[in-house]
Amino acid sequence: MSEAATLHPTALVDAGAQVGPGTRVWAFAHILPGAVVGSGCNICDHVFIEGGVRVGDRVTVKSGVQLWNGITLEDDVFVGPNATFTNDLFPRSRVHPEEFARTLVKKGASIGANATVLAGRTIGVNAMVGAGAVVTQDVPPNAIVTGNPARITGYVSTRRKGPIKADEPPPAARPPQPARTLSVARAELRAMPLVHDLRGSLTFGQHDLHLPFAPRRYFVIFDVPGKEVRGEHAHRTLHQFLVCLTGSVRVMVDDGRDRDEVVLDRPETGLYVPPLVWAAQFHYSPDAVLLVLASDAYDPDDYIRSYEEFLQAVRA
């Protein structure tokens, strides 16, 4: 244990525990042998850390939290007061599994007060778990989850507050408004032409005039339960153009630096998603029908499904 750590007189740090320089361990906290706590951490009152736990640098663990064998907190994680972790999905008194489930909270994630995280879950980079949420499934990077069971209710934004909606559609038979540039590099929210007459309404898009690429494929997403999230990937070379034909859906786009949340709720509004932009669709209304135009045929090797791999590709 480093002498540079600051320990409250009532804190109990057993021999064999590692506590990094600059870390503060407050009153009545107990750290067992074999536990590793990084530098610059704040371990608050009445925190219990078992021997198999790994805690990164600059982590805050608020009062009343217990970290059990198999739990890893990466750098810059925040754990709110009385948040609860588990490491055994079928606990019995005096009956121990051969190996405890591994729970991973990735870099920069936050877990709110009184939240519960079931054993074996992964909380993604920069994710936000709301107070009192019960996490029963993995949480994607940058997602905000709330409720019991926890569901995605949004994504952490880097600049804007609240989701972005297209400007009001232009009057009948007028040219569409210019593309609306987002914080996310190269992504655009486009208002398409809209024509009204006595027979109804019509909207359309033409390559080189309205569409940023020539489509070679389309697919349609519908009957999505509102609690489900689709997408959660990027493409290496594929361009996509998303139009919600009926109902509404929210789309998160992320270029590795900035992030936007867009509402698609009119057939004359389209979202252009270029290559190397991470995207996810959520909050589907029951009647939502999402049309996706793609620049090329389906190629599984074009998908990037790991957010960490996506960030590496963007940096490269």
Dihedral sign, CA of 166, 186, 312, 279? positive
Peptide bond into 274 cis (omega under 30): no
**Two structure tokens written together for 122:** 């992964």
Q: Catalytic residue, from 30, 207, 233, 239: name it.
A: 233
Active site residue 207: no
Distance CA 136, CA 121 (A): 7
What residues contact residue 294 under an 8 Å CB cut-off, 6+ apart? Answer: 215, 216, 217, 218, 219, 238, 239, 240
Distance CA 262, CA 249 (A): 8
**Two structure tokens written together for 211:** 């569409």
**Two structure tokens written together for 313:** 């590709």
Q: Which amino acid is at 164?
A: I
The candidate with the shortest Cα–Cα distance to 287, out of 243, 241, 242, 248, is 248
What residues contact residue 3 under an 8 Å CB cut-off, 6+ apart? Answer: none
Cβ atoms 189, 180 nearer than 8 A: yes
Q: Compute, in degrees rounded to 10, the torsion defined by CA atoms 233, 72, 95, 117.
A: -60
**Two structure tokens written together for 138:** 């993995």
Active site residues: 233
